[in-house]
Amino acid sequence: MKSRLLTPGPSPVPEETLLELARPVPYHRTSEMRQLLAEVTQDLQYVFQTKSPVLTLTSSGTGGMEAALVNCVPPRGKVICLIAGRFGERWRNIGKVYGAEAISITAPQGQAVSPEQLAQALAQHPDAVAVSCTLSETSTGVAHDVAAFGKLVAKTPAVLLVDAISALAAMECRTDDWYIDACVTGSQKALMLPPGLAFVSVSPKAWDLIDRNPERRTFYFDLKKARKDLEQNETPYTPAHTLLMGLRVSLKKIRAEGIENIWKRQARTAAAARAGFRGMGLELFAARPADSVTVAKVPDGIDGSALLGKLEKQYGLKLAGGQDNLKGKIIRLGHMGYIDQFDVLAALAGVELVLKEMGYPVEPGKGVAAAQQVWAEAK
Ligand SMILES: *Cc1c(COP(=O)(O)O)cnc(C)c1O
Dihedral sign (CA 228, 230, 233, 236): positive
Ligand 1 atom 15: residue of nearest CA: 166
Please give the distance, rounded to the nearest whole angstrom, from the Cα atom of residue 163 to the centre of ligand 1. Answer: 8
CATH number (domain holding residue 157): 3.40.640.10
Q: Are residues 117 and 135 in the same domain?
A: yes
Q: Are residues 96 and 201 in the same domain?
A: yes
- Contact status, residue 200 vs residue 64, Cβ threshold 8 Å: yes
What local confidence, expressed as pLDDT, does residue 324 receive? 94
What local confidence, expressed as pLDDT, does residue 194 receive? 98
Q: Are residues 169 and 279 in the same domain?
A: no
Ligand 1 atom 5: residue of nearest CA: 61
Q: Are residues 326 and 365 in the same domain?
A: yes
Q: Are residues 294 and 199 in the same domain?
A: no
Q: What span, in angstroms and rounded, lies between the C-alpha atoms of 57 and 187?
A: 10
Q: Are residues 205 and 280 in the same domain?
A: no
Structural domains counted in the chain? 2
Ligand 1 atom 2: residue of nearest CA: 165
Q: What span, in angstroms and rounded, lies between the C-alpha atoms of 48 and 364?
A: 40
Radius of gyration, CA atoms only, the chain: 21
Ligand 1 pocket mutation pick from 62, 66, 165 by most atoms within 8 angstroms of CB: 165
Last residue of a domain, one of 223, 256, 289: 256
Q: Are residues 108 and 166 in the same domain?
A: yes
Please give the distance, rounded to the nearest whole angstrom, from the Cα atom of residue 379 to the centre of ligand 1. Answer: 33
Kindly give the confidence (pLDDT) of every residue in the chain, 379 residues in length, as a single tens digit, with 9 standing for 90 and above: 999 999 999 999 999 999 999 999 999 999 999 999 999 999 999 999 999 999 999 999 999 999 999 999 999 999 999 999 999 999 999 999 999 999 999 999 999 999 999 999 999 999 999 999 999 999 999 999 999 999 999 999 999 999 999 999 999 999 999 999 999 999 999 999 999 999 999 999 999 999 998 888 999 999 999 999 999 999 999 999 999 999 999 999 999 999 999 999 999 999 999 999 999 999 999 999 999 999 999 999 999 999 999 999 999 999 999 999 999 999 999 999 999 999 999 999 999 999 999 999 999 999 999 999 999 998 7
Residue 280 sits in which domain range? 4-8+259-377
Last residue of a domain, one of 204, 226, 256: 256
**Phi, psi of 58, rounded to the nearest 5 degrees:** -90, 95
Please give the distance, rounded to the nearest whole angstrom, from the Cα atom of residue 61 to the centre of ligand 1. Answer: 5
What local confidence, expressed as pLDDT, does residue 279 receive? 98
What local confidence, expressed as pLDDT, does residue 215 receive? 84
Ligand 1 pocket, CB under 6 A: 9, 60-62, 87, 134, 136, 138, 163, 165-166, 186, 195
Sheet with 78-83: strands ordered across:
54-58, 197-202, 182-186, 159-163, 130-134, 78-83, 101-106
Ligand 1 atom 12: residue of nearest CA: 165
Q: What span, in angstroms and rounded, lies between the C-alpha atoms of 76 and 78?
A: 6
What local confidence, expressed as pLDDT, does residue 377 receive? 94
By DSSP bridging, strand 320-321 and strand 330-334 are antiparallel
Q: Are residues 122 and 57 in the same domain?
A: yes
Please give the distance, rounded to the nearest whole angstrom, from the Cα atom of residue 65 to the centre of ligand 1. Answer: 9
What local confidence, expressed as pLDDT, does residue 82 receive? 98
Please give the distance, rounded to the nearest whole angstrom, from the Cα atom of residue 299 to the centre of ligand 1. Answer: 27
Q: Which of 64, 62, 63 is nearest to 44 (CA)?
A: 64
Give the ranges where 49-131 is alpha helix by DSSP (H): 61-72, 86-97, 115-124
Q: Are residues 326 and 188 in the same domain?
A: no
What local confidence, expressed as pLDDT, does residue 313 receive? 98
Last residue of a domain, one of 256, 274, 298: 256
Q: Are residues 251 and 300 in the same domain?
A: no
Ligand 1 pocket mutation pick from 58, 166, 294 by most atoms within 8 angstroms of CB: 166
Ligand 1 pocket mutation pick from 59, 65, 138 by most atoms within 8 angstroms of CB: 138
Please give the distance, rounded to the nearest whole angstrom, from the Cα atom of residue 140 to the centre of ligand 1. Answer: 13
**Phi, psi of 48, rounded to the nearest 5 degrees:** -75, -15
What local confidence, expressed as pLDDT, does residue 26 receive? 95
Please give the distance, rounded to the nearest whole angstrom, from the Cα atom of residue 190 to the centre of ligand 1. Answer: 12
What local confidence, expressed as pLDDT, does residue 50 receive? 98
Q: Are residues 113 and 177 in the same domain?
A: yes
